[in-house]
């Protein structure tokens, strides 16, 4: 019987030779997926010199071969981990990235600093629902909406959001019902923002993430983000907070875009790797419109 350790080491070498960025982690996660165990249990079984049962060896071999072709790990396991959640993902939906976790944290910090009881939040261009589900699960008493246009992605949005009582809207995030205007404390978005000429280098992104979730249109990739930012301004109540993820090279243009949309106290934010990752702003406190009087 082949032992787990020997098979794992061979898989790590095969994945590394194929250019997979994290061969050791991927091999472990694929093994855990096949065996139905945690990584800590995997290490224990390796120490005991355990092997495979039934067709587990063949399943693992097939998954490693697929991963060597750069099919995303999350598509093979069907799950992605984001903050404290395990999300359902697969072909047709953008795989959530660790850097977006810091974007969620900015929204959580705003709610905490403001001491908002029962905050109303909305996630525009929700995709897998990672942002919306995280907000709902980490903000007790909150009311959260998730908006996703893609017919392929919205099934994942619902699967990940509905267990957290998030309201999912299957529609264009730049054209939402007027009754939502002026009601939100927090708007967060990770919209498509890649410029048309900036083809992603990573095969997992370039070949497997849906293009609808990647490219923001326009020469600078900010055509969709501009429309999303305008919608965010409509949605927010006075003093509400907007956070938008973008590419590192879009730091200055994103800040200018938010100012042009009318946001105040615009600020840039870095992710945990020190890269410019998001820009935020506050909706202005609008002056009340004086009542009209009829003169005789």
Measured distance CA(165)–CA(93) in Å, rounded: 21
Annotated ligand binding at 192? The verdict is yes
Determine if residue 191 is left, alpha or beta; phi over 0 gives left, psi from -120 to 50 gives alpha, anything else beta.
beta
Measured distance CA(215)–CA(247) in Å, rounded: 11
Annotated ligand binding at 177? The verdict is no
CB atoms within 10 A of CB 140: 8
Measured distance CA(58)–CA(234) in Å, rounded: 54
Measured distance CA(253)–CA(91) in Å, rounded: 31
Q: Are strands 79-82 and 85-88 parallel, antiparallel or unpaired?
A: antiparallel
Residue of 187, 195, 179, 177 lying closest to 248 (CA atoms): 195
CB 72 within 8 A of CB 95: yes
Annotated ligand binding at 148? The verdict is yes
Residue numbers belonging to the annotated binding site for substrate: 190-193
Question: Binding site residues for S-adenosyl-L-methionine, as ranges?
Answer: 148, 190
Which residues are known binding-site members?
148, 190-193
């Amino acid at each position: 019987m082949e032992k787990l350790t020997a098979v794992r080491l061979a898989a790590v070498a095969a994945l590394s030779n194929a250019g997979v960025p994290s061969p050791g982690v991927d091999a472990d996660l694929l093994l855990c997926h096949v065996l139905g165990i945690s990584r800590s249990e995997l290490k224990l079984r390796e120490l005991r010199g355990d092997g495979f049962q039934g067709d587990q060896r063949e399943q693992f071999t097939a998954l490693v071969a697929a991963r060597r072709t750069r099919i995303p790990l999350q598509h093979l396991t069907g799950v992605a981990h984001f903050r404290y959640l395990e999300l359902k993902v697969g072909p047709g939906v953008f795989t959530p990235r660790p850097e977006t976790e810091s974007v969620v944290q900015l929204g959580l910090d705003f709610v905490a600093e403001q001491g908002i009881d029962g905050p109303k939040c909305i996630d525009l261009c929700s995709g897998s629902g990672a942002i919306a589900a995280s907000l709902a699960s980490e903000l007790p008493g909150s009311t959260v909406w998730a908006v996703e246009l893609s017919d392929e992605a919205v099934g994942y949005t619902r699967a990940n959001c509905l267990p957290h009582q998030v309201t999912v809207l299957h529609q264009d995030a730049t054209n939402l019902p007027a009754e939502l205007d002026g009601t939100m404390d927090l708007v967060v978005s990770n919209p498509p923002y890649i410029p048309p000429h900036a083809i992603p280098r990573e095969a997992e992104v370039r070949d497997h993430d849906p293009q609808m979730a990647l490219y923001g249109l326009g020469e600078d990739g900010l055509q969709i983000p501009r429309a999303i930012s305008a919608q965010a301004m409509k949605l927010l109540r006075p003093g509400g907070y907007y956070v938008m993820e973008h590419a590192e090279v879009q730091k200055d243009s994103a800040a200018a875009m938010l100012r042009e949309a009318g946001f105040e106290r615009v600020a840039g934010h870095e992710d945990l790797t020190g890269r410019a990752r998001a820009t935020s702003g506050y909706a202005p406190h609008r002056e009340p419109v004086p009542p009209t009087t009829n003169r005789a």
